[in-house]
């Protein structure tokens, strides 16, 4: 194998590789003979099929198989011998000698970007602040009130009075667009909570003031991001008939409510709420600590990010931005920016993510941080638990899609590296209120 360097510009590398035609022919002949050993053809004993027939039937496919093997092995040898670590999959182009039976040497080009030289900063020199918040009785009481609200029952309103906020109106309705009833827009005996969420904006509000037996036509506009595209952003009318009013009967917060929920008593519910809220606070605290850690590491990433990796990361970000823009979901701070400004801003974010990802990967590599099979299995089980009744389908999906497993491995690896760095860093704990903990910005990476 002969290798000639053709490009060395920053992180970009290019080579022309030549493999003797005799080597290609030798591998090709050996593979054809291997195929012939198992081939059954009338008039020939196993393993005795003439090479000319094997060539005729399998020459093209075997040539492709051999070329793929040779190019892969030659590229791997090139990288190993020169100590090069490509940032992404190398780009390979065949130049000559790739046709079956060719007498020319195989020549191909390979181009790629190498990973930059990464100097790991002194992690023990990092100073971080970990925000912590305790679960107080007021928070638990608030959660209990919300639970009680969801468990409340409703009784029929007997007096003749208008519907008001907090009532549940039982209605029949017929929805129309441009005067024509549309599919899925009509229903009977529907319960609508006045002042609650779940209906088209303006729908429940216009029922307020109606009395049982009243009929009314209301006008609403479907949101621009409404699930049914043929209705999104359109104005519609609804013929409403109010059939019954119900009012809530507040549930008492006592042991009976706890037993209704499947617990022994109210104290057990309070303990569970406190534990769950505490876990939420811990997750928020970790997110904020991670953000501060990544911000400080970003200041120490003085190496060049491979342009191809930045392009790929930016492409993923920009696709999401385009989807959000079409659906009217752009962040407030982005809505008034022109496209050039938006692209520049998000390219900086893409570059930051790539650099931090490479730095974390290098810290993990140097310190032998790996993801175990047990951790992958645990992650798959956790993912399957999100789809009750479909667990087996989820397991099969991951068993057949290695890329999906890699999608689980990445976050596990990153979290283990973050934990490793936090252990080395100087971390000061600071007590804050739950509100202060929730106000802190989330991580970009």
What are the pLDDT digits (tens) for 168-177? 999 999 999 9
Nearest 5°: phi and psi at 246? Answer: -130, 150
Report the alpha-carbon distance of residue 246 to residue 70 in Å, rounded. 77
Inter-residue contact 292 to 129 (CB < 8 Å): yes
pTM: 0.73
Q: Which tokens sit at 49? A: 């099929």
pLDDT at 212 over 70: yes
pLDDT of residue 445: 45
pLDDT of residue 73: 94
pLDDT at 325 over 60: yes
Report the alpha-carbon distance of residue 310 to residue 88 in Å, rounded. 11
pLDDT at 35 over 80: no
User: 157-171, 185-199, 295-309, 323-337: which range is least confident on average?
Assistant: 323-337
The residue-averaged pLDDT of 375-401 equals 92
pLDDT of residue 271: 95
pLDDT at 101 over 90: no
What number of other Cβ atoms are within 10 A of residue 318's Cβ? 16
Q: pLDDT of 332-367, one tens digit each? A: 888 888 889 999 999 999 999 999 999 999 999 999
CA 258 to chain centre: 37
- Top pLDDT among 43 and 83 is at 83
pLDDT of residue 55: 73
- Which pLDDT band holds residue 232 (cuts at 50, 70, 90)? confident
Report the alpha-carbon distance of residue 129 to residue 135 in Å, rounded. 20
Report the alpha-carbon distance of residue 445 to residue 270 in Å, rounded. 35
The residue-averaged pLDDT of 157-171 equals 93
pLDDT of residue 440: 58
pLDDT of residue 229: 82
pLDDT of residue 45: 65
pLDDT of residue 37: 73
Nearest residue to 114 via CA among 204, 12, 214: 12
Alpha-helical runs (H) found in 8-50: 21-38
pLDDT of residue 100: 76
pLDDT at 54 over 80: no
Question: Which H or E element spans position 182?
Answer: strand 180-193
3-class SS at 165? Answer: coil
pLDDT of residue 47: 65
pLDDT at 39 over 80: no
Q: pLDDT of 407-440, one tens digit each? A: 999 999 999 999 999 999 999 999 999 989 988 5
CA 114 to chain centre: 27
The residue-averaged pLDDT of 232-240 equals 93
Q: Spell out the domains of the chain, with CATH numbers in brackets.
A: 2-113 (3.30.70.1050), 153-248 (3.10.50.40), 259-438 (1.10.3120.10)
Mean pLDDT rounded to a whole number for the chain: 90
The residue-averaged pLDDT of 372-392 equals 93
Inter-residue contact 376 to 413 (CB < 8 Å): no
pLDDT at 51 over 80: no
pLDDT at 3 over 60: yes
User: 34-38, 117-121, 333-337, 342-346: which range is least confident on average?
Assistant: 34-38
pLDDT at 379 over 90: yes
pLDDT of residue 314: 96
- Which pLDDT band holds residue 132 (cuts at 50, 70, 90)? very high
pLDDT of residue 46: 66
Report the alpha-carbon distance of residue 137 to residue 277 in Å, rounded. 11
CA 281 to chain centre: 23
Task: Decide: residue 227, CB within 10 A, 0-12 exposed, 13-18 middle, 19+ buried.
Answer: exposed
């Amino acid at each position: 194998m002969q290798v000639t360097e053709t490009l060395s510009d920053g992180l970009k590398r290019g080579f022309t590789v030549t493999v003797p035609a005799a080597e290609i022919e030798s591998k090709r002949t050996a593979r054809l003979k291997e195929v012939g050993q198992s081939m059954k053809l009338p008039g020939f004993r196993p393993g005795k099929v003439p090479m000319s027939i094997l060539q005729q039937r399998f020459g093209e496919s075997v040539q492709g198989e051999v070329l793929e093997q040779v190019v892969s092995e030659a590229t791997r040898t090139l990288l190993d011998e020169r100590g090069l670590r490509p940032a992404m999959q190398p780009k390979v182009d065949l130049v000559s000698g790739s046709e079956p039976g060719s007498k020319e040497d195989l020549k191909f080009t390979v181009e790629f970007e190498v990973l930059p030289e990464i100097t790991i900063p002194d992690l023990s020199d990092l100073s971080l602040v970990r925000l912590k918040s305790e679960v107080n009785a007021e928070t638990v009481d608030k959660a209990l009130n919300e639970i009680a609200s969801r468990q409340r029952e409703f009784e029929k309103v007997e007096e003749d009075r208008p519907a008001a906020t907090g009532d549940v109106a039982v209605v029949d309705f017929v929805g129309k667009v441009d005067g024509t009833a549309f599919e899925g827009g009509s229903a009977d005996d529907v319960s609508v909570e006045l002042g609650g969420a779940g209906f088209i904006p303006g729908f429940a509000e216009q029922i307020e003031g109606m009395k049982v037996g009243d009929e009314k036509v209301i006008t609403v506009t479907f949101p621009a991001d409404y699930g049914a595209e043929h209705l999104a952003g359109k104005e519609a009318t609804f013929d409403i008939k109010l059939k019954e009013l119900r009012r809530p009967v507040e549930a008492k917060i006592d042991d009976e409510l706890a037993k209704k929920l499947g617990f022994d008593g109210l104290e057990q519910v309070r303990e569970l709420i406190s534990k769950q809220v505490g876990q939420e606070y811990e997750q928020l605290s970790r997110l904020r600590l991670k953000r501060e850690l990544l911000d400080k590491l970003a200041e120490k990433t003085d190496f060049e990010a491979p342009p191809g990796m930045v392009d790929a990361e930016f492409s993923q970000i920009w696709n999401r931005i385009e989807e959000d823009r079409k659906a009217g979901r752009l962040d407030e701070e982005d809505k008034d920016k022109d496209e050039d400004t938006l692209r520049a801003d998000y390219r900086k974010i893409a570059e930051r993510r790539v650099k931090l990802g490479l730095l974390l990967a290098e810290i993990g590599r140097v310190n032998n941080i790996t993801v175990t099979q047990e951790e992958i299995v645990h992650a798959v089980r956790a993912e399957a638990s999100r789809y009750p009744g479909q667990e087996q389908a989820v397991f099969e999906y991951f068993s057949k899609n290695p890329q999906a497993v890699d999608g689980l491995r990445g976050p596990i690896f990153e979290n283990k590296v973050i934990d490793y760095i936090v252990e080395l860093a100087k971390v000061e704990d600071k007590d804050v209120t739950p509100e202060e903990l929730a106000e802190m910005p989330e991580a970009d990476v």
